[in-house]
């Protein structure tokens, strides 16, 4: 079993509104599991549900509190369904009677054929083989689960805060370190797999944590399946660092240059 | 009372988890009230709540079904609060025992002083007075509630679909038609006040509807208050139209060039 499938596995019957999952050691970050894996668990609870129709269209994950090591309950609810879309909510709680540690909303929709017009283009990237692999083995556990090949904006730490601050933009290839065919679960996780922009901009690792992340999916299931386990072309950037919070945006492109997902998040930082 | 305050008013005690509001005629669109006003009602329910702490940081609104004319119930729930942020959910239902027509999540947070770094810059815009006002009186009711002055990408309809399609980008000044001091409620509404990008790109008005919208706020309450009722500098764009859905992004800047909000949404279209 691939480490990602192990980390995102749910116990209990797929139709059960209350299932459980476990915080993954292998995707551990500073004080909690990697948020992308938590997002994927919420999405998996919906995608496995027998009432689910259509492909994921929108996912918002609110990280309410750190998830501690061990098990957590996963509560899934179909808020509203209609002919072409469904609105779901998922909450994680840890401990009897506790308040949620994570709350997500997920929209699924029928991706019917239509007029198509790709506005944005994939980033110009040298061949995967020609770029050095980011040294991911001495970092946090979750980082070692991905292979990053940066063409621009690789994170480098420095003793002093650069003046002016570095660019927040990164352009890279991104894939699971142990290759795995792309699906909506791994795409959701990879939409959170950009290093916090604050690290890159100031060259240090201050206290940091994503508060809310939204990912929009722009492809149908069979388009992701056709991509296979090739790396995704990715761009990450930020628009503002202000009053203890910053944003982060991302675009993820498939092998044929198709835009698969866009994402934006707000994160806390202390500098 | 300003039409926007009238349209976003809630009945019932501010601490009541169940309040009510009404679909606004003056902000009516094709088959439902303007989504920006619905977003503002959800946000108002949270901001008026006596337990609320901090400023809005993130707002996601899932438009589950059209809101019919008349009253709807507004249910507000504090999912989780901690020292620096709160996670809220708001749902609208219309009719006894009905499923929600709207589900929103709202994060509020303490905007403490910090290192500040504005990455993105406001769009280059000619002076407000030098640009013609978009003819908003013969359009949908909600359009007449705003004043739009386009420097680039004003919507123009045409008999045939332009080939290649037009740019999805618009650059404009935007404000309430009847001036009103900016606050988080009007900022939330204005983050949905861009015409559907599909209209502009193909020069027609096909069936269209926002499914999910996320807005991130980047300013503290006193920064919005200092802006007053000046117009906001705005950029709207899209990255993809594919398989019946498209996206839309937006940035809203205050008078001093400060980035106040960023937004992205996914919308259904039929072409």
- What are the residue ranges in chain B where pLDDT is below 50? none
* pLDDT score, position A180: 98
Mutation test of the interface with chain A: which of B226, B243, B248, choosing the one with the most A Cβ atoms within 10 A? B243
Average pLDDT, chain B: 96
Q: Which candidate from B99, B117, B201 shows the least CB-CB separation from A117?
A: B201
State the CB neighbour count (10 A cutoff) for residue A66: 16
- What are the residue ranges in chain A where pLDDT is below 70? none
What is the tens place of the pLDDT at every residue in A114-162?
999 999 999 999 999 999 999 988 889 999 999 999 999 998 888 888 9
Cα Dmax for chain B: 56
Measure A58 CA to nearest chain B CA, in Å: 7
User: B226 forms bridges with which residues in the sheet?
Assistant: none
The DSSP string of B32-83 is SB-HHHHHHHHHHHHHTSTT--SEEEEEEEEE-SPPPSSEEEEEEEEEEE-S
Is B64 in contact with A58 (Cβ distance < 8 A)?
A: no
Does a cis peptide bond (omega within 30 degrees of 0) precede residue A164? yes
* pLDDT score, position A159: 85
DSSP B28: B
DSSP B231: P
Q: Which helix (H) or strand (E) holds B265?
A: strand B259-269
* pLDDT score, position B97: 86
Backbone angles phi, psi at B189, to 5 degrees: -65, -45
Is B113 in contact with A244 (Cβ distance < 8 A)?
A: yes
Are A210 and A267 in contact, with CB atoms under 8 Å apart? yes
How buried is B90 (Cβ within 10 angstroms: 0-12 exposed, 13-18 middle, 19+ buried)? buried
Mutation test of the interface with chain A: which of B266, B267, B269, choosing the one with the most A Cβ atoms within 10 A? B266
ipTM for this model: 0.97
Backbone angles phi, psi at B7, to 5 degrees: -70, -25
Tracing tokens 């009053």 back to the chain, one arrives at A243
Measure B2 CA to nearest chain A CA, in Å: 31
CA of residue B194 relative to chain centroid, distance: 8
Measure A86 CA to nearest chain B CA, in Å: 8
Extract the runs of DSSP E, i.e. beta strands, from chain A: 18-22, 55-63, 71-81, 85-93, 100-109, 117-118, 146-152, 170-176, 208-217, 232-237, 240-242, 245-253, 259-269
Pairing, β B245-253 against β B240-242:
antiparallel
Q: Which helix (H) or strand (E) holds A43?
A: helix A35-47
- Over its C-alpha atoms, chain A yields an Rg (Å, rounded) of 18
How buried is B83 (Cβ within 10 angstroms: 0-12 exposed, 13-18 middle, 19+ buried)? exposed
DSSP B186: H
Distances in Å between the Cα of A87 and the Cα atoms of A10, A52, A90, B173 are 20, 10, 10, 34
Tracing tokens 């499914």 back to the chain, one arrives at B211
Supply angle C-alpha A196, A236, B235, rounded to 5. Answer: 115
CB contacts, 8 Å: B256 with chain A = none
Question: Which residues lie below 8 Å from residue A116, measured CB to CB, with a gap of 6+?
Answer: B241, B242, B243
Distances in Å between the Cα of B72 and the Cα atoms of A93, A227, B58, B98 are 30, 44, 24, 10
Mutation test of the interface with chain A: which of B114, B123, B163, B247, choosing the one with the most A Cβ atoms within 10 A? B114
CB contacts, 8 Å: B99 with chain A = 79-80
Q: Is the dihedral of CA B17, B20, B26, B29 positive or negative?
A: positive
* pLDDT score, position A92: 98
Q: Which candidate from A201, A220, A262 shows the least CB-CB separation from B264?
A: A262
* pLDDT score, position A158: 86
Q: How far apart are CA B266 and CA B249, in angstroms?
A: 9
Percent of chain A with pLDDT over 90: 92
């Amino acid at each position: 079993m691939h480490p990602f499938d192990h980390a995102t596995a749910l116990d209990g019957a797929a139709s059960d509104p209350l299932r459980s999952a476990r915080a993954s050691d292998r995707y551990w970050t500073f004080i909690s599991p990697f948020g992308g894996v938590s997002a994927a668990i919420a999405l998996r609870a919906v995608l496995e549900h027998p009432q689910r129709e259509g492909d994921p269209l929108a996912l918002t994950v609110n990280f309410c509190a750190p998830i501690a090591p061990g098990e957590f309950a996963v509560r899934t609810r179909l808020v509203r369904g209609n002919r072409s879309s469904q609105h779901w909510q998922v909450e994680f709680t840890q401990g009897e009677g506790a308040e949620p540690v994570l709350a997500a909303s997920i929209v699924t929709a029928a991706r019917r054929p239509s007029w198509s017009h790709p506005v944005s283009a994939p980033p110009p990237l040298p061949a995967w083989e020609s770029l050095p692999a980011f040294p991911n083995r001495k970092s946090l556990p979750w980082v070692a689960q991905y292979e990053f090949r940066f063409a621009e904006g690789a994170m480098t730490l420095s003793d002093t805060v650069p003046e002016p601050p570095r660019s927040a933009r990164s352009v890279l290839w991104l894939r699971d370190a142990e290759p795995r065919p792309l699906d909506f679960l791994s795409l959701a996780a990879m939409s959170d797999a950009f290093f916090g922009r604050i690290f890159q901009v100031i060259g240090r690792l201050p206290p940091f944590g994503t508060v809310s992340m939204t990912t929009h999916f722009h492809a149908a299931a069979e388009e992701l399946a056709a991509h296979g386990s090739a790396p995704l072309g990715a761009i990450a950037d930020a628009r503002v660092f202000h009053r203890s919070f910053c944003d982060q945006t991302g675009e993820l492109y498939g092998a044929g240059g198709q835009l698969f997902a866009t994402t934006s998040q707000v994160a806390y930082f202390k500098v």
